[in-house]
Structure 1
Amino acid sequence: MRGLKGKVGIVAGGGRGIGAATARRLAAEGAHVVIGDLQGDWAGEVAESIRSGGGSAIGMMLDGTSADSQAAIVAAAVETFGGLDIYHSNLAGGTGGDIDILNCPVEVLDTSFAINTKSHFLASQAALPRMLERGGGAMIYTSSGAASGGAAWQVAYPMTKNAIHALARHVASKFGKQGVRANVICPGVVLTEAVKQHLTDEYVERALGAVPHTRLGQPDDIAAAVTFLASDDGAWVNGQVWHVNGGAQMRD
């Protein structure tokens, strides 16, 4: 894709799954990549695999719910590669105990908010000043189809993922004239390592039956969409929520 060679990108939550696939795709397109993950050794392994293939990457521990940790990964990008052009904020989790509104403990909501909303807020606060110094950049947030799916069995995760959409629209509106684009990807069922570990074969088969497609998603499918939004090919896309789900939800 156009315009990625030599750019500097951070992938938060890049140690496995969608984040790792995105880091590899950005590096394949010629970008320098900083990979952050709560599991710092995972981030290091992905970075090493990129370097062994001729790409440019470093990996480090990132606690996305910590302002200091978010500041540190942005500083690492600037110190190592000279600036920051792309931030893929890909953190998600906190679904344990997340059930219907009458039975979901408030502690579960607090955890979900920290991981699925606060982390993206802090990423934006850390990254945007550096992007503005470069004359613009791309903030790309991972949300979820759960944000609009209307699940009866889960309340906190969809609520806190929806907040990302408002954040992206704010960033796009506030900083678009200064060259910053902010967009959201909502994946459908993507067969990451975590999904394969936690979902039963019956669930996967049922999910495939509900999708008007020949297969469920792969991490590379989401990585391709993120990379497009980061590239010059996506220069006219700003403030949008893209559902990348094989047709599981068909939305305007």
Structure 2
Amino acid sequence: MQGLRGKVALIAGAAEGNIGAATAIRLAREGMHVVTADLNEANAKAVADEITAAGGSAVAKAFDITDETSYKELIEFTVDRFGGLHGLFNVAADLSARTMSRDTDVTSVPLDIWQHTIDVTLSGYMYGIRHALPIMMEQGTGSIVNTMSSVVWMGKDVAVSYQTAKSGLVGLTRHTATVGGKHGVRCNLISPGVILSKASLAATTEQFREETLASVRSTRLGVPDDLAGPVAFLFSDDSFYINGQSFLVDGGANFT
């Protein structure tokens, strides 16, 4: 893809075996310098080590997406290490059974789960944009990709916190696209369907996956690499005229 080689990408949520990791590896193959960041530093380092072992350029850094200072320091680390920041992929999420099993419906969800989910998925993404956008605007170029979810269009009867936080990313993304657009900075959304990431495989049953596949207009369910390509495209010069948009990557599960 055009315009990626030598540029700098930050993957905020690069845990091994998940979407962020696959995207980091793909971007490194495209010639980008990559910072893999995650709450679990060992997981982020495993991804960076895989990239460097294959001849790519990557470094790992631990950060807490719910802490604005931690995210700000991550961005400063990225710029200090590689001299700029051209692509930010917000993909971190808490999909642990501990959290998701308690994210019930609007009448019963515990307020600590509600707040935690908002902190990770909405406020956390805003922290990254708040500190990355001025750098990109000063450069006159940059691309931010936020990760939503196809569940927003489904209206499930559980996971009210997750759906609400992800829905809020529409406004955040459109706002960022407006603020950054005239300065050469774009912001878009990708919305995965069921993706067989490490986290997803741990959180779902074989029966659920079979039932989901039956409802999808595809021969298989998604894998992390299916998101890596679209993110690379949205970071590249090939997507110069795409801004403020949302892309469903769900194998045709939703026609909207």
TM-score range, shorter chain: over 0.9
Q: Give, in whole Å, the separation in 2 of the partners of 1:173 and 1:48.
A: 37
Contact 1:41–1:60, Cα closer than 8 Å, also in 2: no
TM-score w.r.t. structure 1 length?
0.98
Match of 1:8 in 2: 8
Deviations 1:220-241 (A, max 9, x none): 0001111100001111110001
Match of 2:84 in 1: 83
Match of 2:75 in 1: 74
Of 88-97 and 181-190, more deviation after overlay is shown by: 88-97
What's the CA shift for 1:197? Answer: 1.3
5+ long unaligned stretches in structure 2 = none
Match of 1:245 in 2: 250
Contact 1:143–1:164, Cα closer than 8 Å, also in 2: yes
Residue aligned with 1:178, SS: coil
5+ long unaligned stretches in structure 1 = none
TM alignment of 1:58-207, pairs within 5 A: 58-93=59-94, 94-207=99-212
Residue aligned with 2:2, SS: coil
What's the CA shift for 1:154? Answer: 2.5
Aligned residues: 251
Q: Give, in whole Å, the separation in 2 of the partners of 1:85 and 1:237.
A: 16
Deviations 1:172-230 (A, max 9, x none): 01110000100000000000011111211000000100101100001000011111000
Q: Give, in whole Å, the separation in 1 of the partners of 2:43 and 2:65.
A: 15
Percentage of identical aligned residues: 39
* Root mean square deviation, CA, Å: 0.9
TM-score w.r.t. structure 2 length?
0.96
Deviations 1:46-93 (A, max 9, x none): 101100100000001011111111111111111111010100011112
What's the CA shift for 1:2? Answer: 0.7
Q: Give, in whole Å, the separation in 2 of the partners of 1:205 and 1:230.
A: 33
Deviations 1:119-164 (A, max 9, x none): 1000101111111121120010011111221101231110010011
Q: Give, in whole Å, the separation in 1 of the partners of 2:72 and 2:101.
A: 28
